[in-house]
Structure 1
């Protein structure tokens, strides 16, 4: 495997060049569904809770990429949920692996799903919403990755060579790219059933299984779709029409399969993976309660350029250029579709300047986020060693001392308006003075207004305000107890706008 700095440099060079040049099979019988649990709704580019309040969620990714592909196997449990809640985190993107869900064609492992559901319930007990994520990287273990079942690897006998690890195999591994080609073509697998048909049926089974599970934010259809053999045509800032057409058809297939069994749970879809680095997306599925799951990674973070006197991270203009493109494309896509944006991956770095910058970008856009990743956990497909990406080194160990990366926590943990009874008008946070200001008008997304007494929730994490905080509010009054981790304000009679400022005591 190439050294990590060289791997990232290769990807940066590949992606920078064009910028400079400027009938489905019936699914197996699903598990017996319980009554649907309340789900968020999506309207006008926003995620809304069951009271119609605008949700902005901060959280982490937790994905177990090695057999048995279950986070609880790694020690992730109630103490981790409690730790996350204490930091002010309110969401987790929780990985499921297709290989574990459907080990044999049309046969689903409900014992595995029950393990995932137990973790979801533990998180819900601590006020944390879960995004269920069918996660993959490099498609399958044969290609030094994870994701697809063995029976879904159709590589037409091409060699799984060369083996250069993540992410380099995407660019050079013949068998990997042919396997993706066959997946996007919905090639017939076992029993003559198309691979995408199997995949959509698996999601329908999972959606049915989780209908009665509280705290589910939504589902994430497919992590970081890779275009396959023709990937070179997609390194285009304006987008990749041919592949994005295939990706949209696939996404619609999954959306329709899920909606056939679950009309309420939000479905988040992803653009092709090169969106992460500034390529526009043309993927626009249709349906209700759709969300746009996107990623942003600074390709020049942690390349060691500071050792030779070159700027890195937040101060690197190349990093900023890619980030600007990602956020501009995301804003355009959200505005054009009305689908809610969620930054489901960023980070995988110990460069806290990069983390602070990304958190600030998301806050300015009123977009929620999920940091990559909660733990290293022997991750086989990441751009840095586990300790580099990890917020917690070992979930099975006590959550104290060197097991926690305090520098990352300081970069990620900020106050934010988490549930707003109105239409947000923007938030700012000054890290130097620890002053947080947020505001909204009382108009409901979708029409009407909130009544007097409507409550909004603002996360004021103790790591930021260890000695307490002061609140100044206009148009609302504080109804939470002094020093509460979640500040609750109630709308005053006659108010048209609300403004809240939090400062250290």
Structure 2
């Protein structure tokens, strides 16, 4: 997590009652939609710089990291204490958090506690927990996670801890006594703690064969997962994140962050890619991360990189990066809150880098602390990050320049941790330092969820921010998308993208409600465009204005119905809007406005709004 001052971020936890989720619709039996519309029967690939499913549709992955619990010892390096908790988490993540994917954390230390031997009991438990998400209709991409290299670098009285490498790997190094000096945030250990920097250096230089051991273990892990999931379940595994937040530790004489990526990091990814192929993952991309300080938003921390010298990554790799507002987290470098368009430039850089590499982009971590002195910024910081994932154009200028939006980015918020505030972690095995608050790891507190006293999953952030309308699958090419969530900062409703007065009928239709607008050109497939419908968009109160027609309270899906609603896969009660092109030509311009702001709008009102949107779309695309 790229904070060299406060990687206090940990974002979403998972909450749930037994079979129902508080505040969400009841679970629904499996839909009767044709099998070709179920994502878990279609593999995800990279084509034309976008994620594409088996129906040729552009796919957007949205979800959370599951979870920082893997960084702790209380549950043996697993995301959950039990499969039952994993199922509870998955159901809540789908129904309360609107997620269709998760980054699933794994621990090298627990996969290979003894050098050369994998713990199949750990892999079996991890795979069963992974299956809980797949069964809920959620795509999974595993991640070998590390922070500060390893907890075994730290002594029992330390202010900090780490996670990642096993004890035997640390013992080989003979590292100095760890000390961060005057450090106010755990992330400062990355560059100031000599035990951490030397251990990282050794890994990237394959000292003691450490990298070889890691790659062997990664291949065994991937083989195990592939062999122990069913064929249909494995299809829904999106890929693998080889190594969280890579950093050199220190650079050899004459080497820079860019040349380190070129000479050490990229060759490691090529080796990992070969291990994926050998393990049966040859059709899935590697979600590769650049140097963790690439695209940092503090000038002194920016380092040249972004895998610039890797050439065209193509469909076998995804450009995978993180983003945290380190200025906002510092508490002193950004006064006040985030605002409209705050991160469109930073996320635009991610879009541009992925485009230049001819691959899709993934922002696999983002978020902001939910407690502490800077937590008051979270509502605006997180809203601005989601806004930047949706479009590279600020709300104030979106309606006048929608064609500059760029692709809708995939992202996984940090994090979703059921046990937030209820941990019992012996920090560095010290019985006198039992951590229970927040995420129980280096004072982080970023989980979007927690369990209430009844054991139900409860959101810690505004549901209007987290459970979002987004185009989960677009039948063609996405041209532009925006979503005004009207999330709140305390008692203030944040509206950064109001419908302009030049579209009075559309403005009246939306009113003070939430709305999203998708513009796309049709492709050659027959599967519909799908948008996730948040719980705040009950079917009976959802209005759609599109070139495909106008509908208030969309009907149940049928192949002949151009605008319809249906359950999402997994039986969690979440729903999707299905938009089916009535034409067979490719490249046809389509648009769809979706809002919950109207109450029984008349046909005249809907037609007037449609006329305005048609003229607007024709004038901008």
Structures share fold, TM-score greater than 0.5: yes
Distance (whole Å) between structure 2 residues aligned to residue 325 and residue 161 of structure 1 = 36
Deviation of 1:158 (Å): 2.2
Deviation of 1:222 (Å): 0.4
The question of whether the paired residues in 2 share the 8 Å contact of 1:167 and 1:381 is answered with: no
Structure 2 segments unaligned to the other structure (5+ residues):
9-39, 155-160, 371-377, 392-406, 424-435, 487-512, 550-561, 568-572, 599-621
Which residue of the partner structure matches residue 502 of structure 1? 594
1:373 aligns with 2:453: no
Which residue of the partner structure matches residue 438 of structure 1? 518
Which residue of the partner structure matches residue 474 of structure 2? 420
Q: Secondary structure at the match of 1:99?
A: helix
1:392 aligns with 2:449: yes
Distance (whole Å) between structure 1 residues aligned to residue 80 and residue 574 of structure 2 = 30
Query: Using a 3 Å threshold, how does the CA distance of structure 1 residues 105 and 395 change in structure 2: closer, same or farther?
Result: farther
Deviation of 1:324 (Å): 5.5
Taking structure 2 as the reference length, the TM-score comes to: 0.66
Greater alpha carbon shift after TM alignment, 296-305 vs 136-145: 296-305
Deviation of 1:369 (Å): 0.9
Pairing partner for 1:410 from 433, 451, 464: 464
Question: After the TM superposition, which residues 235-246 of structure 1 pair with which residues of structure 2 at under 5 Å, given as runs?
Answer: 240-246=258-264
The question of whether the paired residues in 1 share the 8 Å contact of 2:6 and 2:330 is answered with: yes
Pairing partner for 2:350 from 319, 330, 335: 330
Pairing partner for 1:469 from 534, 542, 567: 542
Distance (whole Å) between structure 2 residues aligned to residue 316 and residue 497 of structure 1 = 28
Deviation of 1:221 (Å): 0.7
Taking structure 1 as the reference length, the TM-score comes to: 0.80
Q: Secondary structure at the match of 1:250?
A: helix
Which residue of the partner structure matches residue 130 of structure 1? 140
The question of whether the paired residues in 2 share the 8 Å contact of 1:255 and 1:287 is answered with: no
Greater alpha carbon shift after TM alignment, 461-470 vs 479-488: 479-488
Question: After the TM superposition, which residues 294-309 of structure 1 pair with which residues of structure 2 at under 5 Å, given as runs?
Answer: 294-305=321-332
Which residue of the partner structure matches residue 583 of structure 2? 493
Q: Secondary structure at the match of 1:463?
A: coil
Deviation of 1:84 (Å): 1.3
The question of whether the paired residues in 2 share the 8 Å contact of 1:80 and 1:395 is answered with: no
Q: Secondary structure at the match of 1:334?
A: helix
Deviations 1:287-322 (A, max 9, x none): 74311111000012244459xxx73341499xx4xx
Deviations 1:42-78 (A, max 9, x none): 1122111122211102111112211201122177322
The question of whether the paired residues in 2 share the 8 Å contact of 1:439 and 1:499 is answered with: yes
Pairing partner for 1:268 from 287, 292, 310: 287
Q: Secondary structure at the match of 2:416?
A: coil
Q: Secondary structure at the match of 1:71?
A: coil
Q: Secondary structure at the match of 2:81?
A: helix
Which residue of the partner structure matches residue 505 of structure 2? none
Deviation of 1:464 (Å): 4.8
1:256 aligns with 2:274: yes
The question of whether the paired residues in 1 share the 8 Å contact of 2:62 and 2:410 is answered with: yes
Distance (whole Å) between structure 2 residues aligned to residue 216 and residue 6 of structure 1 = 32
Which residue of the partner structure matches residue 200 of structure 1? 215
Deviation of 1:277 (Å): 0.8
1:220 aligns with 2:241: yes
The question of whether the paired residues in 1 share the 8 Å contact of 2:102 and 2:139 is answered with: yes
Deviation of 1:461 (Å): 0.5
1:119 aligns with 2:129: yes
Pairing partner for 1:152 from 164, 169, 192: 169
The question of whether the paired residues in 2 share the 8 Å contact of 1:65 and 1:146 is answered with: yes
The question of whether the paired residues in 1 share the 8 Å contact of 2:476 and 2:521 is answered with: yes
The question of whether the paired residues in 1 share the 8 Å contact of 2:72 and 2:441 is answered with: no
Q: Secondary structure at the match of 1:411?
A: helix
Distance (whole Å) between structure 1 residues aligned to residue 128 and residue 194 of structure 2 = 39
1:359 aligns with 2:367: no
Deviation of 1:281 (Å): 2.3
Structure 1 segments unaligned to the other structure (5+ residues):
11-35, 189-193, 444-448
Deviation of 1:478 (Å): 1.4
Query: Using a 3 Å threshold, how does the CA distance of structure 1 residues 233 and 465 change in structure 2: closer, same or farther?
Result: farther
Which residue of the partner structure matches residue 25 of structure 1? none
Deviation of 1:9 (Å): 11
1:478 aligns with 2:487: no
1:39 aligns with 2:112: no
Question: After the TM superposition, which residues 70-85 of structure 1 pair with which residues of structure 2 at under 5 Å, given as runs?
Answer: 70-73=78-81, 76-85=85-94
Distance (whole Å) between structure 2 residues aligned to residue 6 and residue 397 of structure 1 = 38
The question of whether the paired residues in 1 share the 8 Å contact of 2:4 and 2:187 is answered with: no
Which residue of the partner structure matches residue 167 of structure 1? 187
- Quote the RMSD (CA, aligned, Å): 3.2
Q: Which has the larger radius of gyration?
A: 2
The question of whether the paired residues in 2 share the 8 Å contact of 1:155 and 1:176 is answered with: no
Distance (whole Å) between structure 2 residues aligned to residue 439 and residue 324 of structure 1 = 19
Query: Using a 3 Å threshold, how does the CA distance of structure 1 residues 8 and 231 change in structure 2: closer, same or farther?
Result: farther
Deviation of 1:398 (Å): 2.1
The question of whether the paired residues in 2 share the 8 Å contact of 1:89 and 1:128 is answered with: yes
Query: Using a 3 Å threshold, how does the CA distance of structure 1 residues 287 and 305 change in structure 2: closer, same or farther?
Result: closer
Distance (whole Å) between structure 2 residues aligned to residue 216 and residue 40 of structure 1 = 8
Q: Secondary structure at the match of 1:216?
A: coil
Which residue of the partner structure matches residue 483 of structure 2? 429
The question of whether the paired residues in 1 share the 8 Å contact of 2:103 and 2:143 is answered with: yes
**In the comparison of the two structures, how many residue pairs are matched?**
448
